[in-house]
Every structure is written in structure tokens, then in C-alpha cells.
Amino acid sequence: MTDRAKQMERAELHAHLWSSVSVELLWDLSHEQWIKLPVKDFDAFKAWITMWETDKNADIKEMDEKYFHWTELIQSSPTAVETAIKTTIWTNYRKSNLTLQEVRFNPMFRNKKWELDLDYIIVAAIHWLDYATLQYNKVKAWIVLCMDRRLSFRKNQIILEKAIKYKNRWIVWIDLSGPQSKDFSMEEHKALFDLAKQSWLWVTIHTWEEWSLEELKYVAEVIKPHRIWHGIMAVQDKKIIKALKKNDIVLELCPTSNLKNSKVKDLKELSHIIRTLLKHDIRLTLNTDWAVMYQINIIKEEDLLLENEIITETELNQMYKNAFDYSFVK
């Protein structure tokens, strides 16, 4: 661990398992499972699976076919889930002193379109999370199961049922992820979020610029999840800010992700958004989202905000405090 990493313990609430495993390990895992990759050379694979410094890609469909599909396919077996969970937790601790980690994934994107039993995928994740935190006993970790806008209501309901089934075994959060889909209805899914809360699960929801301000407003005012990723559009509507504040909803901020895959133009706009949210006393946390794809870690995200004078050290510390306070990993 570097001296910089040792300076303080950190918490991260928003990291996807598919983009937490190193390129080298993804390459090894794909070969161990005899997966036919679209490229045959390691460097070409790395270029395929990561976004370069200058890349900006807001086309979620292209990303879906490229990054999401291949990384999730490579992680689609109990053995691959074992490697993914263990190495994610170990690496994040050793490199960035992340002593609190929430790792999220969608089990239905790891069961080879129903070839594998969902329970084995989930139990593999639970088991190896237990193991990883035993090996590095300073680390506390949870699993967040993700539902997805591209799945039917019934399939999302099954994911929620699994989260409820395993809720006392390292699964305490349910998320809704994925790009917008014409068949998806947030109103219809309200019943699932209500059931999750009644079942003592915590709720977090992805909202993105691609989706409408109306949907974010509905989420903040009616569904009232405990956290929203990343909800930065809230600065465009005072009513949403008011709802976030009133309902004590925490935002999971992912600066690099915002710059590369959102409609945030540049650092100036990012700064305006973060300063506005802080001015209104909205609770923020700092996260990487898709770390391996962007080739970042939480310390690089700190540097981005501090070196560009977007936040102060005190505000950064408060973001980590919020993450520890609002992860419910006690």
C-alpha cells in the first residue's frame, strides 16, 4: 500500500463487478473458460475492453455490446465470480485502502442466459466475499444485486426475490441499473422498490442524463430510494433538489464516469454541478463506477477533484464520512 493510500481509510459504494477485475485477469479467465473472444491478442483485448484517456462514449448501446457483454460473459460461472469477487476486494484494499466496499452485479447477466442456476452464482459471490474479508479482516463488504431496465418486470422481480432470500448473508441492497428500454416502466417497478423496503432491503437507483428529468423527479419524490447514482441532473430542477434533501437521499457521484459517459461537457461543468449540490447541502459520496474500463481507482478520482480545485480536502473527507454513514455496513 502506498503512503498516500495509507493516509486514511476509504469507503466506496458504487463499483460494478464487471469493471472491477483487471484486464489481465479477464484475459486469463476468458482463456480458462475457452471463450471465443472478438480479438486474439492481449494488447488488442486491452484496447477493446478499456476506454482510453481521450475516449468519450455516450452511446450506451455500443458500450453494451462491447464492454458490458464481454466482461459479463467472462464472469459468467461460479468460478469466475469467485475470482472476480476476491480480487476486487483484495485489490481495492491493497491499492486504495478501501476498508468498506460495496460491489454490485446482476446475477442474471452471469448465468449464460439461464444455462446456470442463479442461486449458484449468488452463493459463489457470498461465499468468496466471506473468504476475501476473512483474509483481509480490516475490510467490510456488501453485495448489491442489480435489477436492469432491459429485463422484464418478472425477471427483475426474480432478482429481488433472490436478494430477499439472501438478505442476511451480505446482500442488503437492491439496485436498478441499465440503459433506458422502451418496455421499462418506473411506475410499474415502484411495487418492487416498495417490497424491497418492506423486506428491509436498502434501495439505490441508477439515473442518467440519457433518461428524462421527469424520471429522476419521480424517483426522488415518489420512490424515495436511500441513494441515487448519480442524479447530477438534479441541479436543473429546484424541486428535485428539495426532494433529495427532504427524503435524505444520498448521491453516488462518479466524476470520471460523468465526464466520459454523461452529458457533462468538461471539468467546468462538473465543478458547477458539484458546487451547486454542496451549496444545497446534498450528501455526496465519491465512487469509480467502472474503474477498469476507465483505468482509474478511487485515489485518481480524489486527485481529479482536488487538483482541479473542485472540492477541498475537508469536503473530500465529508464525502468519505457520508459513504461510511450511508453504506449501513456496521
Residues near Zn ion (CB under 5 A) are 289
Residue among 41 and 59 whose Cβ is closer to Zn ion: 59
- Tell me the closest approach of the beta carbon of residue 28 to Zn ion, in angstroms: 25
Residues 6+ apart with CB under 8 A from 314: none
Give the three cell numbers for residue 279.
Answer: 451549496
Helix (H, G, I), strand (E, B), or coil: what is residue 323? helix
Ramachandran angles phi, psi of 138, nearest 5°: -80, -20
138 in Cβ contact with 93 (< 8 Å): yes
Give the three cell numbers for residue 186.
Answer: 418506473
- Tell me the closest approach of the beta carbon of residue 279 to Zn ion, in angstroms: 25
Q: How far is CA 164 from the centre of its chain?
A: 20
- Among residues 74, 76, 132, which one has the least CA distance to residue 103? 132
Residue among 215 and 289 whose Cβ is closer to Zn ion: 289
Residues 6+ apart with CB under 8 A from 161: none
DSSP state of 64: I
102 in Cβ contact with 144 (< 8 Å): yes
- Tell me the closest approach of the beta carbon of residue 254 to Zn ion, in angstroms: 7
Residue among 5 and 293 whose Cβ is closer to Zn ion: 293
Residues 6+ apart with CB under 8 A from 214: none
Residue among 228 and 244 whose Cβ is closer to Zn ion: 228
Residue among 30 and 258 whose Cβ is closer to Zn ion: 258
Residue among 102 and 289 whose Cβ is closer to Zn ion: 289
Residue among 289 and 302 whose Cβ is closer to Zn ion: 289
- Tell me the closest approach of the beta carbon of residue 19 to Zn ion, in angstroms: 9
Alpha-carbon distance of 20 to 128, in angstroms, equals 15
* Residue whose entry in the numeric block shows the C-alpha cell 458490458: 68
- Tell me the closest approach of the beta carbon of residue 14 to Zn ion, in angstroms: 6
- Tell me the closest approach of the beta carbon of residue 259 to Zn ion, in angstroms: 14
- Tell me the closest approach of the beta carbon of residue 177 to Zn ion, in angstroms: 6
Give the three cell numbers for residue 297.
Answer: 481507482
Helix (H) or strand (E) holding 3: helix 3-6
Helix (H, G, I), strand (E, B), or coil: what is residue 230? strand
Tell me the DSSP string of 285-322: EE--BSHHHHT--HHHHHHHHHHTTSS-HHHHHHHHHH
- Tell me the closest approach of the beta carbon of residue 13 to Zn ion, in angstroms: 10
Alpha-carbon distance of 68 to 64, in angstroms, equals 5
Give the three cell numbers for residue 101.
Answer: 466496499
Residue among 82 and 289 whose Cβ is closer to Zn ion: 289
Residue closest to Zn ion when measured from CB atoms: 289
Residue among 5 and 174 whose Cβ is closer to Zn ion: 174
- Tell me the closest approach of the beta carbon of residue 1 to Zn ion, in angstroms: 26
